Amino acid sequence: MTDLKKIIAISGSTRASSTNLNLIKAIANLTTDRFDITIFEGLTELPHFNPDLDNAQPPEQITNFRNTLRKFDGILICTPEYAMGVPGTLKNAIDWTVSSMEFSRKPTALITASSVGQKGHSSLMETLKIIEAMITNETQLLIPFAKTKINSDCVITDDKTRIEIIQLLDSFHKIVSDK
């Protein structure tokens, strides 16, 4: 049996059955031979970022979030674009990691699955680069018109998108394995 790499997956959408959550589940189904994917479900429970609370004893939810990120071999983010930017709850979570550096040199894959997504994707890529996430051109992907390509049964229905995701996952697996 192969050594499965432990991946924490974060959906940037807070909807219970969002396209991005369905995409994460589709990816989990595609990668059972390589990844053990855990979906982080506490995004909405994280308090608003406050630098005054980002000290030696941050809020308990933040300590738990940071410890969770540290336990995994890699991070997969699947997110929509909201109002031409990064969803606030996702950006808030990432802001809590700036000083503690959980993303620094951590293999990271980013998929922006949205109606358009370019501006949100670009903004989040800049954030991930500045916090030193280990992300490459091959481990990031923009999927426009995502609702037409991923169904509610967690299946990627568009052949081109499926191929692009498999290529991303191959690259992500290589980076996680080489780390």
The whole-number pLDDT of residue 1 equals 47
Domain count, the chain: 1
Virtual torsion, Cα 110, 94, 179, 143, nearest 10 deg:
0
Q: What is the mean pLDDT of residues 16-32?
A: 96
Whether the per-residue pLDDT at 32 is higher than 60: the answer is: yes
Strand 35-40 and strand 108-114: pairing? unpaired
For the stretch 158-173, pLDDT in tens is: 999 999 999 999 999 9
Distance (Å, whole) CA 51 – CA 8: 25
Cβ distance 96 to 58 under 8 Å? yes
Q: Is 51 exposed, middle or buried (0-12, 13-18, 19+ CB in 10 A)?
A: exposed
Cβ distance 121 to 112 under 8 Å? yes
Q: What is the mean pLDDT of residues 30-50?
A: 97
Rg (CA), the chain: 15
**CATH number for 143:** 3.40.50.360
Average pLDDT, the chain: 96
The whole-number pLDDT of residue 2 equals 64
Segments forming the whole domain that contains residue 145: 5-178
Work out the pLDDT band at 179, boundaries 50, 70, 90.
confident
Containing H/E element for 110? strand 108-114
For the stretch 65-121, pLDDT in tens is: 999 999 999 999 999 999 999 999 999 999 999 999 999 999 999 999 999 999 999
Cβ distance 5 to 173 under 8 Å? yes
